[in-house]
Amino acid sequence: MRITFIGLLLFSTLFAKAQDYPEPSKESVEYTEQRSKITTPPYGLAKVKAMIAKVKADDNDNMKLSNKDYNSLSLREKFTYNMIHAEEYSQNCDVPTPVAEAQKQIFGQVPSSFNEYTWSDRQLNFFKDNKDSVIAIIKESVNRSKRVGVNYKEVIVLMNATEMIPFLEEVYQRDKKDHDILTVFLLLMKNNNYQPFLTASSYPKLYGENVDYYSSHIAYNSANEQLILQRVNDFYKNRK
């Protein structure tokens, strides 16, 4: 019942906001949908999906696999489980303001991978405790699928995986269509208090006190793109 109520609240808020903004273009809608797509790893996928299907919500609407079943999974199976299923219910009424021509913007945040759910402590600990393995599996998966899903982006930021910057830039340069890779670079610089970025004119536009969390953005153009790439490469070379 709680999820239904929240869903109705989100819908009504989105509908109200939509009245104040022009209808987005087809390209903007498609890009927004693409931004929110996760990558589904193949490792033990059928087994993991079958286990998830049997999970029942607890009194707080959390959807957690039992410790016995979770611990029975191999590392790669846990990777798949954690990447496609967030266990902890987290009421989220923060509806992003619609952004016109989303495909022409660089956002300050990546979208949420699981809407009203978030990773539990044991899932967060899995990513942090197995950082090297998680990075290796993400690279393997991205090289195969040729894309970086929003769940991968979230985990890269979560793990503070600055060592992935060269790899991510290589992926970005293939077609320059996934501007959220640039967003990951912005977040890595922000979270590591990289002063050349914190003092940049674009910083308050993206992370100022009064900006919309998920909708803050700057224009995607050659100048902004090159400045981000230059800064993140300088950050990478000088990181400790």
SS3 state of residue 86: coil
Per-residue tokens: 151: 């769940």
C-alpha span between 127 and 122 (Å, rounded): 9
C-alpha span between 199 and 38 (Å, rounded): 32
Q: What share of the chain is helix, strand, coil (3-state, %, to 5)?
A: 55, 5, 40
C-alpha span between 212 and 111 (Å, rounded): 13
Per-residue tokens: 182: 């640039």
The reported pLDDT for the residue numbered 5 is: 46
Taking the model in full, what pTM does it have?
0.90
Residues of the chain with pLDDT under 70: 1-21, 92-96
Per-residue tokens: 41: 């790893």
The reported pLDDT for the residue numbered 124 is: 98
The reported pLDDT for the residue numbered 22 is: 72
Task: Express each pLDDT in 24-42 by its tens digit.
Answer: 899 999 999 999 999 999 9
